[in-house]
Amino acid sequence: MPSCHAVIFRATRNPADDGYAVMAARMETLARQQPGFLGLESFGDGPESLTVSYWSSLEAIAAWRAHPEHQEAQRLGRERWYAGYSLRVATVEAELHFPEPERG
Amino acid sequence: MPSCHAVIFRATRNPADDGYAVMAARMETLARQQPGFLGLESFGDGPESLTVSYWSSLEAIAAWRAHPEHQEAQRLGRERWYAGYSLRVATVEAELHFPEPERG
């Protein structure tokens, strides 16, 4: 299996939008353009949300975290949007899929 | 940081409940009783769902996976409930929390 890392982002938002939706959409678009990005899924519409993104290396995650626009979003997140969050960076050790993917 | 592992379970359900809700509640109760269980959160109400559970070791995850009631649930999951799923076992390398937890 090629190397795969997951970023598990669990957040609780403050009630006011205050520019959040626009920034969230922008960050998703930008994340998808980063080197090493493999996929992203986000669940939760209310104040509680869970987003998992997948990356090909820990370096790719560090680079995305250091991206200037993302840095600004992180700052605003702590200042305005999030009542709280937990962020976990993890290395995928094993995965299985049902049904099993067809092999070429 | 003590060792922490995540199981990321992304599933798409078939439309019929067919005993799913009862079994899902039972499995969550049972998971919480297993040695090494650290936490579980599930998102998604419709057919798409994302559940992340946390465990203190890969052995604890393997033991839960091999639990007879869980094995039966897994079998029924493939037979009846899930159109598809992906399951990833990951090792948490780093985590951060906002606001930072107070230190005792």
Contact B93 A89 (CB under 8 A): yes
Say if B9 is an interface residue toward chain A (CB within 8 Å).
no
Q: What percent of chain A has pLDDT over 70?
A: 97
* Total number of domains in chain A: 1
B94 vs A: CB within 8 A: yes
Q: Which residues contact A11 (CB under 8 A, 6 or more apart)?
A: A48, A49, A50, A51, A82, A84, A85, A86
In a domain, A44, yes or no: yes
Q: Which residue in this structure is represented by tokens 């104040």?
A: A47
Nearest CA-CA partner of B54 in B39, B64, B42? B39
For residue B101, tell me if it sits in a domain. Answer: no
Peptide bond into A99 cis (omega under 30): yes
Q: Of B104 and B53, which is predicted with more confidence?
A: B53
Parent domain of A19: 5-91
Q: Is residue A26 part of a domain?
A: yes
Q: Is B75 inside any structural domain?
A: yes
Query: A98: Cβ–Cβ under 8 A, 6 or more apart, which residues?
Result: B77, B78, B82, B84, B85, B86
Chain A residues with CB-CB distance to B5 below 8 A: 90, 93
pLDDT band, residue A57 (cuts 50/70/90): very high
Is the model's pLDDT at B1 over the cut of 80? no
Whether residue B100 lies inside any domain: the answer is: no
Give the per-residue SS3 of chain A.
Answer: CCCCEEEEEEEEECCCCCCHHHHHHHHHHHHHCCCCEEEEEEECCCCEEEEEEEECCHHHHHHHHHCHHHHHHHHHHHHHHEEEEEEEEEEEEEEEEECCCCCC
A85 touching chain B per CB within 8 A: yes
Q: What is the average pLDDT value for chain B, to the nearest integer? A: 95
pTM across the whole model: 0.94
Separation between Cα atoms, residue A69 and residue A22, nearest integer Å: 13
Chain A residues within 8 A of B58 when measuring between CB atoms: 93
> Is A14 within 8 Å of B14 (Cβ atoms)?
no
**A101 found inside a domain:** no
Taking CA atoms, what residue in B is nearest to A88? B95
- What CATH number does residue B16 fall under? 3.30.70.100
Q: What is the mean pLDDT of residues A18-32?
A: 96
- Residue B23 forms part of a structural domain: yes
Considering the domain boundaries, does residue B32 fall inside one?
Answer: yes
Nearest CB to B82 within list A52, A92, A98: A98
Q: What is the pLDDT of residues B15-34, one digit of tens each?
A: 998 999 999 999 999 999 99
Percent of chain B with pLDDT over 90: 88
